[in-house]
Amino acid sequence: MRGQEELVRRLALKRRRQLGTMSEEAYAELELAVRDDPTRFVDDAQEEAFALVAQALADLERSQHDDDLLDDQQYLRQREKRLVKLGAACSQALQIDENCIDAALLFALSKDLPPSQTAVALVELEEQCVQRSGDVETCVAGDAWTNVFERPMLRLHNAIAHYCLCTARYSQARERSIDLLTKAPLDALGARLTCVLAMARLEDEDGFYWLEAREGHRGNAWFHLGRAILLYKLGRMPAARRALGGYDRLCTAGAYVLLQPVFVDTYLPDRPSFSPQSFSETVLAVHEADPIISDIPDFAAWACDQPGFLDSAQDYARRNGMEWRDWEE
């Protein structure tokens, strides 16, 4: 979530509404003025609360810069402090505007509850939001994400879909992701990535290939890993082996990350940004697929037994100075 960027856009759009007709050049100058000092333009509870959330996220990001220098215990202590601080900021924002969806979403996530409890809390929040102000309506001529004021509800929907996947509610994850793709077809939040993993686990071959075609067959780590899972679940072992090999070749550190999962922190509130075909992309995909892989206990062992897969993982670790823990079934 790019909170500061969204704050600038929200404030500029509200000021333009107040001023009335404005040329695009004048609006561009207005946006520059807002960007220079957003606090001058905060004049209602909604934006005051959102500004607190944006600042809290900026503070959180800055506090993570030295994490690589910390040992495990130090990291866990710092992480707990960060979550407490984030929760306090969101609580303050909710006192200013009880309808601030982003503050409520982040407050729920900052509690760091087990995924099943978080899923329940987010669904309850969704119900409260819908009762108060209604759901995001599908943009017939465009994408709901282009309306910056609709983004908080889209983020909440996306978080629920993610936690449905985390808690083995695969059908709900699929349906919620498809609903998001309908409302926001350009998919700035990556609902398709949650959806493709859910379809793979559900053995929804038609859905999987429909989604792949929707994306113009532009594969990424979620699609490559999802295809291997789908074909393995369907019992098509020769095709599954080829898909697994494709995943390893096309995804940076594919074999290594599958056999040596990397810790990924709680999404606050949505998936971290990543570069295409990067190590981070593979890490995020495997992290999100972990509940599925755990739900198919033989999959990782089968993958490890495929010719060259374990060698590829160990070779990546050796070449990049990565830790390697002896893999056991």
pLDDT at site 137: 52
* pLDDT at 138 (0 to 100): 47
Cα angle 168, 199, 176; round to 5: 70
Residue range 74-98: mean pLDDT, rounded: 96
Q: Is the pLDDT of residue 140 over 70?
A: no
At residue 30, does pLDDT exceed 90? yes
Q: Is 201 helix (H, G, I), strand (E, B) or coil?
A: helix
Alpha-carbon distances, residue 228 vs 58, 163, 208, 300 (angstroms): 38, 22, 12, 11
Contact indicator for 60, 82 with CB cutoff of 8 Å: yes
Angle of helix 101-110 versus helix 115-133 axis, rounded to 10:
170
Global pTM reads: 0.94
pLDDT digit string (tens) for 12-26? Answer: 999 999 998 889 999
For 205-216, what is the mean pLDDT?
94
Residue range 94-114, pLDDT digits in tens: 999 999 999 999 999 999 999
Does pLDDT of 134 surpass 80? no
Compute the average pLDDT of residues 305-329: 89
Position 139 scores a pLDDT of 47
